[in-house]
Amino acid sequence: MTATEDRELRRVLHDTLRSVPPSPAPLEAIIRRSKRIRLRRAGAAAGAVALAGIIAVTSLALRGSPQPYVPPAAPAITAGPDGVFASGTADGHRWRLAVQNIADPGYSCLPAIIINGTDADPVNPDPGTGATVALGSALPGVGFGFVQVPADVNEIVVNGDAAVPAVTVAACGSRYHVAGFAYPLSKPLRVTVANPPPGWPPVFTMPLVSTQRPSTHTTPESPGLWINTISAQGETDSVALAWGTLPDGQAWFIKLQFGPGGDCYQLDGSSSLGNNQMGYCGPVSTPGGPETITALPLGFPNPGTGATGYALQVSPGTDQLAATLSNGSTEPATFCVVAGRKYAAFIVPNPLRLAKLTWFDARGQAIASTTALPRYGYVQFQP
Amino acid sequence: MTNPRDELAAAPDVISSEGREDFSAFAASRWPGLVRLAFGLTGDRWLAEDIAQTALARAYVAWRRVSQADDPDAYLRRILVNASHRRFRRRRVTEQPGDPPETPVDGPAELVGDRSAVLAALSQLPPRQRAVIVLRYWADLTDAQIAATLGCSPGTVRSQASRALARLRESPALMEGDDR
C-alpha cells in the first residue's frame, strides 16, 4: 500500500466516523443491561427478559416486520397561531408540544419544538427527524416524542394502536409537518408511519428515553433526558467557546455546535500522548426555561490527569458566571454569543471538582447559584 | 415463580456508589469513540449504539478489574469487536438488508458521497477484515494491538489487512487519492 493510499484511507475513514454526531451516553440503560448479564451468568431466568429500549426499537425496524393495518389518512390539519401541534393529559398533568420562536429579543427568528414551554429542540428544515424526551421530576414516568414527517404523511401510529395526526405548523416564515405524542416510559416505543411514501421506512427508529426509578442516587439524568435522533441535516453554527492548556500540558478547547441536533458541546484535548474528544448534546433552553449545564469528562478519571469541561447557555441578563472549585478557587467562564444565544464555558482540571456555579448581573449582583452540578451529562437549573 | 422483571429490578448494583460514579464518568467519556468505532464495524448507527452499550455493560460487570487494568480501552475494544462479530453472524440469519436508510450526515454533497462510498466499500468486507481496517486506520492501533483485540497473531492481521486493502482498491471513491 502506498503512503498516499494510506493517508487517503485514513482521511476518508476519519471523515466518515467523525460524521457520527455524539449522543448522550445511555448510562442507565448500560447499567440495566449489566444486571441482565450478571443474572444470565448466575443462571437466573433473565434470558426470558425481553430486551427493551433501543434494542427492541432497532430490531423491529431492522426486521421490517409486517405492520398492523392502518386506516386511510385523515385530511391535513393546521395548527393555530400558538403553534401547538399536540397536547393532552398524562398522569393528571397537562402537556403540550408547540413550534415557536426561541430566539432572544432582537435576534433572528429561531423555530423550535417546545415541550411544556421549558425545553426546546431546533426544528430541522427537512422531514425525517424526531426526538424523545422525558422531563424527569416535572412529569415522572412520561415521555414525549415527536417526528417531523413528509407533507403527504397525515398520521403516525404509536405502539401499534394509537393514531397520531401530523399537523402543519407555521413558524418563522416556514411550514413544518410534525406529529407529537406522550407515552409511558415503562414501555418500549415503536413508531410506524401510516402509508409511508416511497423511500420512507415504515418504522421510525426512535431512541428510547428511560429515567431513573426514584432513589437516593442522583445522576444528571434525573431531571430529564433528551435524545435527539440527530439524523438532522441543516445549518449548524459551530463556534469555539473556550480554550487553554491544562496543568498536565494538555491543550483543550470546548466547541459548541448549535443546530438541528440541539446544543451539542465538544471538548477536545491534545497532548504528546494523542488526541481525545468528548461530546454531548442536550436540550435547548427556551427564554423562560431552565439553563442546561453540561459536563464533558475527558480522559480516564485517574487523579491528576484529564479534566471536565463545562458549557451552558445563560440568560441574556447574565454578565458573569463564577465557577467555584472543590479547593475553593474560582474558575472564570468565557462568554460567547451564538445565533442570538449567550453561552459560557470553562474547564475543571482533575482531580478538582466543580462545587458551585454563581450567576452575576451587570451590577455584579449574584442573581442565582447552584451546587447541584453534573460530573457528566447535563442537569437543568432554573435561575 | 419469580417474575424475571422483578428479579432484574432487585439485582443489586455490582459496584459501590463511588465506583458507579467513576464508571459513569468513564462511560460518558468513552461513549462517542465507542459508537464511532462500532459504526465503522457495522455501518449502522443504532446497531453501533447497541453494541457500544453491550461493551460498556460488560465493563460495568467487571468494573473493579477493568478500572485497574493498564489499558481499559483495550478491554472495551475487545468486547466491542466480539459483539459486532456476533451481530454479523445473527444478521445473516434474521435480518433483511435495506431497512432503514443510513443516518444522513451533515456536510457538502461531495463529503456525503465520500462517506457513503466508505460505508459501501467497508460493507463488502468480511467482518474480520473490516475490523482490521477500522482498527488500523480509524483507531490507529498497531498490528500487535489489533491482534490482541481480535485474538489472533500479528501475521494474521497483516494478511487480513492485505486482502482487505486489495478489495478496497476496487472502490475508486476510496483510493483516488491525489485526484481529489
A352 with A341: CB under 8 angstroms? no
Task: Inspect the interface and report whether the beta carbons of B4 and A62 lie closer than 8 Å.
Answer: no
Q: Measuring CA to CA, which residue among A291, A260, A224, A230 is closest to residue A112? A: A260
Kindly state whether residues B16 and B27 are assigned to the same domain.
yes
Mean pLDDT in chain B? Answer: 71
A180 with A156: CB under 8 angstroms? no
Could you say which of B102, B132, B162 is where a domain stops?
Answer: B102
Cell of A307: 479534566
Q: Which of A5, A28, A35 to mutate to test the interface with B (most CBs of B within 10 A)?
A: A35
Kindly state whether residues B67 and B112 are assigned to the same domain.
no
Kindly state whether residues B113 and B98 are assigned to the same domain.
no
Residues of chain A with pLDDT under 50: 40-75, 211-224, 229-233, 301
Kindly state whether residues B88 and B17 are assigned to the same domain.
yes
Cβ-Cβ contacts under 8 Å, A203 against chain B: 99-100
pLDDT band at B49 (very low <50, low <70, confident <90, very high): confident
pLDDT of residue A76: 57
Interface of A with B in 357-376 (CB under 8 A): 375-376
Q: Is A118 left (phi over 0), alpha (psi -120 to 50) or beta?
A: alpha
Q: How far is B151 from chain A (nearest CA, A)?
A: 22
Q: Is A127 on the interface with B (CB under 8 A)?
A: no
Q: Which residue among B14, B47, B106 sits closest to A19, beta carbon to beta carbon?
A: B106
Q: Is A36 on the interface with B (CB under 8 A)?
A: yes
Residue A351, preceding peptide bond in cis (omega within 30° of 0): yes
* Domain membership flag for residue B114: yes
Kindly state whether residues B142 and B168 are assigned to the same domain.
yes
Which domain covers residue B168, as residue numbers? 104-180
Kindly state whether residues B82 and B20 are assigned to the same domain.
yes
Kindly state whether residues B108 and B94 are assigned to the same domain.
no
Cβ-Cβ contacts under 8 Å, B105 against chain A: 19-20, 233
- Sign of the dihedral defined by the CA atoms of residues B42, A59, A133, A77, in that order: positive
pLDDT of residue A208: 58
Q: Which residue among A6, A54, A64 sits closest to B96, beta carbon to beta carbon?
A: A64
pLDDT of residue A369: 93
Interface of A with B in 283-322 (CB under 8 A): 296-301, 306, 308
Task: Inspect the interface and report whether the beta carbons of A54 and B22 lie closer than 8 Å.
Answer: no
CATH code, domain carrying B24: 1.10.1740
pLDDT of residue A326: 93
Q: Which of B106, B125, B133, B168 to mutate to test the interface with A (most CBs of A within 10 A)?
A: B106
* Domain membership flag for residue B38: yes
Cell of A268: 477536545
* Domain membership flag for residue B5: no
* Domain membership flag for residue B1: no
Give residue-wise pLDDT tens across range B69-126. Answer: 778 888 888 888 887 765 443 222 222 222 222 333 333 334 345 566 777 788 888 8
* Domain membership flag for residue B3: no
* Domain membership flag for residue B47: yes
Could you say which of B56, B83, B102 is where a domain stops?
Answer: B102
pLDDT band at B151 (very low <50, low <70, confident <90, very high): confident
pTM across the whole model:
0.48
Supply the ipTM of this predicted assembly.
0.72
pLDDT of residue A19: 72
Number of domains in chain B: 2
Kindly state whether residues B40 and B91 are assigned to the same domain.
yes
pLDDT of residue A307: 87
